[in-house]
Structure 1
């Protein structure tokens, strides 16, 4: 089978002068991109490394990220992107656990790296990559087995230590194929990405599928609600991806009609559910732009289901139907399938499933069983085969024997015009065992009382589901992929 190495070589030959990457005023054609990747791979091959050794990336979003990402794989090594938002002890754990040999790093992280007290065989600064590629020995082509590990991605570690997810060359290629079809990606597309490329979604739902079809990747370092419309206009982007919180910020910012975003055809979202009210407002503000939800986990590359624009307002709360070559089942706890409408653990099967967790056979056996990935997400399928995420297994609240799914309460809170965002967690209670606690952030210039929030919730929810406590906060804690860190809220 073809792998991404073959695809990029083909694009360099057939789409040579077509734009592959745009980063501010820097541009790379498919020819210059491929040449830079192979030259840097040649340099990496001159280092005292063995095939399959790990090379870490501690890099922000720049044009150098995709170059380094592919050069490491071309050289025969395994690329290990690291979450730049992590604290030194968290990075130290990843470096020690993986025994990474070489680290490619932005200068801004020098102090962070020194605090880890981990000694790499070699540390390469991002600013030196181009010169090293220019002076590199001739690149030697490497035979890659589709089942060889290509990428290690450490999960965000919302509980305990993060686990190193091993993804193969076949996983990466198949994920690009699986996503490019429902997104209707073509070489004419211009994908604007400002979410972190070190994250599985940034890398494998957007960056790699973009290169798979020969489209243009527009890279921005970070999301700016004040500048995003100007950026989308200036770059003639056709596709923007953001987490729901980003769309909330966009819609709560004055939308200047002077910005020409007529090129836009698709808004993608993921990492968290998009409330009905937010989808409705987004489609109202941008009537010519489709919206699409993406669902998956790092352990499935990530690729599981997608909700297309046609269903955005009719299948509210759903993450859609399975991608091609992908099966979804609701597990009954004994390896069987639950009927439609029943809640159980979501399990996934397909060519995008990870090889396993690095140095963790016990967790691998728990997650991968009989060819299925046990996701840890609770969900249900409706009569049309659409999947609904009910919650993380660990997030479910049990109040006096009644199951409460925080997402149900969050959906109601998001309907309140005065609230900017909300999150619900379970907290201990001496009588009921657990009760829901809501953390809410009020929109600037608005006021709302705890009594008003509870009164509205009482019109929408069963009494046992009502928040037992409401806390007003300035901001919800999130990880780099935009997911709310509920374990932080619980403590």
Structure 2
């Protein structure tokens, strides 16, 4: 098989002298349609509408105050530790106006997890939500960040006494003389100027900071817009001004950050921003706001297919549904058609390292029910490599390797990991796929060791390090087992210390107690999606190769076999 160049269109000019904030808020582009007047963002809970001019004003006010109060400037990092909030994007754009970068953190992180991210990116300030304030303050203290550099998003009813708030900062910035000059990039500088430090789990036990330049998300927005012929006059346009999309995906995740918001703004759409996902409330929101576009992940799709409440709603106004972050089966996709009879339906595929979308549903397919992840976007070249490095044939499995304009710079301060993943301008995705002559792919499995749990990457080595701290454990290996809802669930194979094994020999009921203790130990130290929801299995020895590397594939196969064996009747 030769390298496949996407047949989905030719890319227009991609500006390399703009920040993402300038591209979305200020600039025109040949692909950018004329937006109808109205809201850019709707707060799902309150119904508050925010239009472009208010977003620009609030962005300027916050940027000015960040410069005045904290001297935020070139190459500083603003860390946001919060669920979605109407000012989340304003905070990002304010950082960009100042020449700073943004790093988003999962609001459910524990202190240890957040301290690691603060230290890794060297955060200058932390913007958080009242619900996350306690952990934010403890983490800031542990990382040596002053408590007065922890800023609160404004939430109605929350006690923000004696705390610096975003609204207070905006007011200060607007009431003060200009204290900064907006960053203007030189031609080509957008390709190297870092906009985001998004985290992607590796296999070494700790997530890695993906350094994403401004050019990358701008390129991806234009790639997706070109694929869908945004701005052209044709029947049944997929994305156009006046459309309304949900934004229930977290903005600290690359999917929510680029495709679900910045791309939607570029298309002239209104984004209904939801702070925290609640399925029953989400169903009401689709009706209340007449949402036409749903960008979702597999757990949400599975709920739509299985929850009994769905039958009480008429979703005939929904025109587009896509799922990303993990594969969905053909059977699930067929169920979606029954729920959304008038929608274009398909799957998308992307990575943090590619600043989001690599493939999405082809424009000539109203509903792609194949279980595939769509077609390579315009400007992307793809190939499939077999384990020996040779090219796979069409429809033959192997690792997907791509070249794209939206490529990240690499992993910040991690040259070894960068060399493994970013090779001569190509991205090694670590995903096993099959690809046809049209550049359409089907994702088969993960070749990299990390798991995909509810769309989030989970490093087995990180969980293994935590499990090894349990007093009853002498060795362990974590693998993923398939799950319809979460995609994968972490399962730990554990070798017990002799004393623990002896306790079980004397009292078999101790087995369940030790397993429960190990599961609780991980739950107490890791964010919820990293818990051992697949369970714990005891094993005599962890299989390893001669160099000591864990043979995960052996245990993954064993785990799947265990799950398919019928249980013995008592």
TM-score band w.r.t. shorter chain: 0.7 to 0.9
| Separation (CA, whole Å) in 1 of partners of 2:339 and 2:289 | 20
> Of the candidates 26, 30, 50, which is equivalent to residue 9 of structure 1?
26
| Separation (CA, whole Å) in 2 of partners of 1:261 and 1:388 | 28
- What does residue 562 of structure 2 align with? 469
| Separation (CA, whole Å) in 2 of partners of 1:328 and 1:236 | 37
- What does residue 143 of structure 1 align with? 184
- What does residue 152 of structure 2 align with? 125
| Separation (CA, whole Å) in 2 of partners of 1:63 and 1:314 | 33
| Separation (CA, whole Å) in 2 of partners of 1:336 and 1:94 | 38
Question: Contact (CA 8 Å) 1:16, 1:29: kept in 2 or not?
Answer: no
Q: Which has the higher contact order (CA 8 A, sep 6+)?
A: 2
The 5 Å alignment of 1:235-246 reads: 235-246=289-300
TM-score where L is the length of structure 1 = 0.78
Once structures 1 and 2 are overlaid, which stretch shifts more, 15-24 or 213-222? 15-24
- What does residue 65 of structure 1 align with? 88
| Separation (CA, whole Å) in 1 of partners of 2:49 and 2:263 | 19
Post-superposition offset of 1:303: 1.8
How many pairs are equivalent?
425
> Of the candidates 48, 59, 62, which is equivalent to residue 37 of structure 1?
59
Q: Please, which runs of 5 or more residues in structure 2 have no aligned partner?
A: 1-14, 29-33, 155-164, 229-237, 451-478, 496-532, 536-556, 566-570
TM-score where L is the length of structure 2 = 0.68
Post-superposition offset of 1:383: 4.3
Post-superposition offset of 1:334: 6.0
| Separation (CA, whole Å) in 2 of partners of 1:248 and 1:308 | 23
> Of the candidates 205, 210, 213, which is equivalent to residue 264 of structure 2?
210
- What does residue 505 of structure 2 align with? none
Question: Contact (CA 8 Å) 1:276, 1:313: kept in 2 or not?
Answer: no
Q: Please, which runs of 5 or more residues in structure 1 have no aligned partner?
A: 397-405, 415-419, 431-438, 442-463, 473-491
**Could you say if the C-alpha distance between residues 255 and 114 of structure 1 is closer, same or farther in structure 2, counting changes exceeding 3 Å?**
closer
- What does residue 454 of structure 2 align with? none
Counterpart secondary structure, 1:163: strand
Once structures 1 and 2 are overlaid, which stretch shifts more, 282-291 or 107-116? 107-116
Query: RMSD in angstroms over aligned alpha carbons?
Result: 3.2
> Of the candidates 207, 211, 216, which is equivalent to residue 166 of structure 1?
211
Question: Contact (CA 8 Å) 1:279, 1:312: kept in 2 or not?
Answer: no
**Could you say if the C-alpha distance between residues 341 and 263 of structure 1 is closer, same or farther in structure 2, counting changes exceeding 3 Å?**
closer
Bigger-Rg structure (1/2): 2
> 1:244-287 deviations in whole A, cap 9, x for unaligned?
22122123223566645343111111111111111111101221
Question: Contact (CA 8 Å) 2:326, 2:487: kept in 1 or not?
Answer: no
Post-superposition offset of 1:115: 3.2
- What does residue 119 of structure 2 align with? 96
- What does residue 366 of structure 1 align with? 420
The reply to whether residue 21 of structure 1 matches residue 66 of structure 2 is: no
